[in-house]
Amino acid sequence: MMGNRSRLELGPLEQGPLERFDQDDWRALTDRVRQIAADIFAVPLDGLTAESSPESIASWDSLNHLSLVLALEQEWSIQFSPEEMEELLSIAKIVSVVAEKSLER
Amino acid sequence: MRELIEAALAAGRYGEARSAAEAMWRAQPNGAVANYVLECAARWRETLPCRPWRVYFLRSFTVEPMVPLLRAGGALVGLELTVGVGPLGAYMQEVLEGESGLYRFRPDTVIVAVQTRDIAPQLWEDGVPGAGLAAVVAEVLGHFTALVERLRSDSPADLILHALEEPVHPSWGVLDGQRPDGQAAAVQEINQGLRRLVSRWPGVYLLGYDRLVANYGRLQWHDERKWLLVRLPMRAECQPVMVNEWLRYLVPLAGRGVKVVVTDLDNTLWGGVLGEDGPEGIQVGIEHPGAHYRALQQTLVDFARRGILLAVCSKNDEPEALAAMDSHPGMLLRSSAFAATRINWTDKSQNLREIAGELNVGLDALAFLDDSPVECERVRRELPEVTVIELPREPAAYAATVRRHPGFERLALSQEDEARGELYRVQKERVTAQRQFGTVEEFYESLRQEVVMALVDPAHEQRVAQLTQKTNQFNLTGRRYSEAEIHELARREGARVFEVSVRDRFGDNGIVGVIVFRYTAGVGVIETMLMSCRVIGRTVETAMMALLVRFGRQLSLQWIEGWFVPTAKNGPARDFYANHQFAQVEAGEAGTRWRLPVESCSLACPRWIRASLAKDGNDGESIAS
């Protein structure tokens, strides 16, 4: 989901990890996160924007939030800390945390 | 993938839609895909048979995120699950109160998912001193007994009990294994007690939770952060593993088990294509790559023991295929093992219909195994009721792929089921083998080893070369040979390459030893002698040397000589010559040279080994000539 370049080719070291993401990487990642969230919350894909959050999505309750976190962890083979789990409260925030963590791996 | 599924659903090709959904699920078994699968299942349920089944969880940990996964996994194997979950940690109250959610739910199956750390925290973290431990074991077993008794009297539901898990880090560390108050031992004792408990009650089954965790990897299973935060003990990626294990119980309980496995032949029961490679060219046996096909055969043997019928459906010429099945030395399954065979060039869907008719079962009781995606796809389209198991590209993964499917599980066997297999005989032998042996000789005797030393078969030259490449421990000289060198040596005047194979009561170990021997007038030299670590410590080497002496006598040799060349790893072979009546005649930089008088030595094969020097049933004379 991060383009097909190898890690070694991804830009100079002084850049922050997220700056190594290009437009396509972001789009692919965002699409994937939105699809997962749409399935978990049982809402149409186009009903989700970057700003979607528990305030705007009625089915974004604590149980579905846990299911969302687990699905993200499985998809990117990552694990969130309790603090991160509590931060993942909008699509945009999820995308940026997932990007960061999947690069750390 | 979604487009493909949508198109198939829209066109009413439900079998195809389900198999695509299954592939998607296999690739990403997470909550999001689970919800999507359930959405699709709601559309195919009218056409594809789905058995409604109600499951209620009594639990001490969070199972809610696994519920959609369980329902999706169920939908893909023909179950329409309705799932209820009791309050966290209140399993005992729920059972004891007559009007609880448990009884109102009217479950078909109750799963009691309780963890060691909840029901017996002393066995998970803080160990208790010896005297208190027996009390903990008794208390836990008392709890479970009360729970089972009450549930059995108040509810017709079947019961699945999670057995307890051993602690990841016992309080005593490695000392846990020796101490009378070891936590792991206490957990095992509880699990033994649970075994006895479930055997006393019909409809109560034990789920080996500890084995499930261990198979996955104990350290990879747990997620302490989620445990502390939301009482979810396992990592996200373990949830599908847990769910599949539940399905292995629910599928047979709901009567959705497979009754007949219909298997292909080429590249399924054996490697290669019979029509192209011929009966000698197909691969099945105990070496790579034939062993992978044999492992699939073993899987089917196991299924047959559970009372599942076997059938063949293959595109081949029938007489040749039957001959290969009955005469190939590597086959575990002969044609007589199959209740129905359709070996012809007809469409497989037609053959499957006929097999179902002949065996008098519905199409939904059939599972179809094939390596060809094309054949699988056709069956899915034409017979969506049939369970299609498309074998993976890698034969090494065949057996595990098939074994994983919950449709082959059985929770009870009728006498008729059991009579079908040889289960009892094998089982009895294994138990006896685990018995303590008084002396090491008794152990050797019990192995009933047969050692055959023969001139290397041309088909085995690769295996023999490979053994010289990778055998380090019992290897007198550490010399390596290529396949070409073995090939050449096997044909050279004054040289012999022997392959040594060992059978024992548990089966064939295959080729596990090699001797490269050269001789001129009067003297034979062991250029290489090695033995795989599979059979070290079973006196096979003595049998090999006794056979070599027999061969030396046939050639009227005066001496057998050999070098021991020490390497970093061949310590186990260091004393071999000294222990076998050889005398040291030279010590040089490379190693030591040893010599044995052929005529006068008294070297004999151990009495617990049947040894023979042969090639394809000929006697030893032909080797020496």
Give the tens place of pLDDT for each residue, B161-192: 999 999 999 988 999 999 888 899 999 999 99
Out of A35, A37, A79, the one facing B223 most closely (by C-beta) is: A79
Q: Which two tokens stand for residue B579?
A: 């222990």
- How would you classify the pairing of strands B495-504 and B449-455? antiparallel
Q: Give A70's contacts in chain B (Cβ within 8 Å).
A: 30-31, 65, 236, 239
Distance in Å, alpha carbon of B209 to nearest chain A alpha carbon: 21
Q: Give B243's contacts in chain A (Cβ within 8 Å).
A: none
| Minimal-distance CA residue of chain B relative to A35 | B32
CB contact under 8 A, B236 and A39: no
- Compute the distance between CA of residue B373 and CA of residue B219 in angstroms, rounded to an integer: 37
pLDDT, average across residues B18-37: 94
Q: Please indicate if any CB of chain A lies within 8 Å of the CB of B422.
A: no
| Minimal-distance CA residue of chain B relative to A36 | B32
Out of A40, A79, A81, the one facing B32 most closely (by C-beta) is: A40
Out of B64, B228, B235, the one facing A63 most closely (by C-beta) is: B64
- Nearest CA to B78 out of B111, B44, B110 is that of B44
- Compute the distance between CA of residue B502 and CA of residue B611 in angstroms, rounded to an integer: 9
Give pLDDT tens digits for B269-309.
Answer: 999 999 889 999 999 999 999 999 999 999 999 999 888 99
Q: Please indicate if any CB of chain B lies within 8 Å of the CB of A70.
A: yes
Q: Give A85's contacts in chain B (Cβ within 8 Å).
A: 229
| Structural domains of chain A in order of their starting residue, each with its CATH number | 13-104 (1.10.1200.10)
Helix axes B318-327, B274-281, angle to 10 degrees: 30
Does the pLDDT of residue A5 top 80, yes or no? no
pLDDT, average across residues B51-59: 95
Give pLDDT tens digits for A14-34.
Answer: 445 566 677 888 889 999 999
The answer to whether ipTM exceeds 0.85 is no
Give pLDDT, residue B298. 97
Question: Quick one: CA torsion of B6, B9, B13, B14, rounded to 10 degrees?
Answer: 120
- Nearest CA to A40 out of A71, A86, A74 is that of A71
- Compute the distance between CA of residue B113 and CA of residue B57 in angstroms, rounded to an integer: 7
Which residue carries 């003595």 as its tokens?
B542
Give pLDDT, residue B621. 42
CB contact under 8 A, B237 and A36: no
DSSP secondary structure code for residue B123 in this structure: G
CB contact under 8 A, B31 and A42: no
CB contact under 8 A, A70 and B33: no
pLDDT mean across residues, chain B: 89
CB contact under 8 A, A71 and B225: no
Distance in Å, alpha carbon of A96 to nearest chain B alpha carbon: 20
CB contact under 8 A, B64 and A74: no
- Compute the distance between CA of residue B210 and CA of residue B187 in angstroms, rounded to an integer: 10
Give pLDDT, residue B472. 82
- Compute the distance between CA of residue B564 and CA of residue B478 in angstroms, rounded to an integer: 9
Helix ranges (DSSP H) in B201-254: 209-216, 218-221, 224-230, 239-253
| Surface of A (5-34) touching B: CB under 8 A | none
pLDDT, average across residues B343-359: 92
| Structural domains of chain B in order of their starting residue, each with its CATH number | 1-48 (no CATH), 49-253 (3.40.50.1110), 260-427 (3.40.50.1000), 440-624 (3.40.630.30)
Q: How confident is the model at residue A11 (pLDDT cuts 50, 70, 90)?
A: very low
Q: Which two tokens stand for residue B562?
A: 């050999």
Q: Please indicate if any CB of chain A lies within 8 Å of the CB of B30.
A: yes
Does the pLDDT of residue B99 top 70, yes or no? yes
- How would you classify the pairing of strands B449-455 and B609-613? parallel
CB contact under 8 A, B30 and A75: yes
